[in-house]
């Protein structure tokens, strides 16, 4: 794969998100996305089967990293400590370029009901990935399900704060997510 070709995937994602923000998700075609990225339609289809898959791709990567961080946490880590490790692993993948993309994506989501639904589904797939990873560590089902939901809430809150920030704090997603998890842990202790 040439260097130009290797950058194609990223250009396709960035171009698509811009087009979604400009014209809405429904009105954007694969042809337009390929043109914006400066590649042919067949290059698009080498990377993604359709425009929906283009959005799902990033989501699946994050689900995988959340689960990986949980799997790699020390054996004696508590369920929430394992969730914190998952948040750190997934946050680590999101730097400056992700911040740009997150801010563009936010505008696109605000403009499309279909993207709002996709966004809601993201939470569900993150929760499922973390629950499965926790159960694989021997955490009982109910505890795993709750710890995963706290993880999703923490990731969403951390992400919302991070994506409002500027480029100087682009590396701080993990910090925001872990602070949110701490707050949720404290709140869950008050439940009765």
- Residues that bind its own copies in the complex, under the rule CB under 8 A: 78-80, 117, 120-121, 123-125, 140, 142-143, 145-147, 149-150, 153, 183-188, 190-192
Least distance CB 176 / its own copies (angstroms): 14
Residue number, 6 or 186, with CB nearest to its own copies: 186
166 exposure class (CB count in 10 Å sphere: 0-12, 13-18, 19+): exposed
Least distance CB 106 / its own copies (angstroms): 18
Residue number, 143 or 169, with CB nearest to its own copies: 143
Least distance CB 87 / its own copies (angstroms): 15
Residue number, 6 or 120, with CB nearest to its own copies: 120
Residues 86 and 154: their CA atoms lie apart, in Å, by 11
Give the number of other CB atoms < 10 A from CB of residue 83: 33
Least distance CB 79 / its own copies (angstroms): 6
Least distance CB 40 / its own copies (angstroms): 28
Residue number, 15 or 86, with CB nearest to its own copies: 86
Which one-letter DSSP state was computed for residue 167?
G
Residues 95 and 143: their CA atoms lie apart, in Å, by 31
Residue number, 96 or 124, with CB nearest to its own copies: 124
Residues 162 and 187: their CA atoms lie apart, in Å, by 22
Residues 118 and 138: their CA atoms lie apart, in Å, by 31
96 exposure class (CB count in 10 Å sphere: 0-12, 13-18, 19+): exposed
């Amino acid at each position: 794969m040439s260097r130009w070709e290797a950058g194609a995937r990223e250009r396709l994602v960035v171009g698509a998100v811009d087009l979604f923000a400009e014209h809405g998700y429904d009105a954007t075609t694969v042809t337009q996305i390929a043109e914006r990225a400066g590649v042919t339609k067949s290059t698009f289809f080498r990377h993604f089967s359709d425009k929906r898959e283009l959005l799902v791709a990033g989501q699946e990567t994050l689900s995988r990293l959340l689960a990986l961080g949980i799997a790699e946490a020390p054996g004696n880590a508590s369920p929430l400590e394992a969730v914190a490790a998952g948040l750190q692993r997934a946050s680590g993948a999101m730097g400056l370029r992700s911040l740009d993309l997150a801010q563009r994506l936010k505008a696109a989501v605000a403009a499309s009901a279909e993207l709002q639904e996709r966004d809601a589904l993201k939470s569900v797939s993150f929760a499922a990935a973390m629950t499965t990873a926790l159960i694989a560590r021997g955490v009982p089902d109910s505890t795993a399900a709750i710890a995963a939901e706290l993880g999703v809430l923490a990731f969403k809150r951390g992400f919302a704060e991070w994506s409002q920030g500027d480029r100087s704090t682009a590396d701080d997603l993990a910090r925001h997510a872990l602070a949110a998890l701490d707050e949720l842990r404290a709140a869950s202790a008050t439940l009765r």
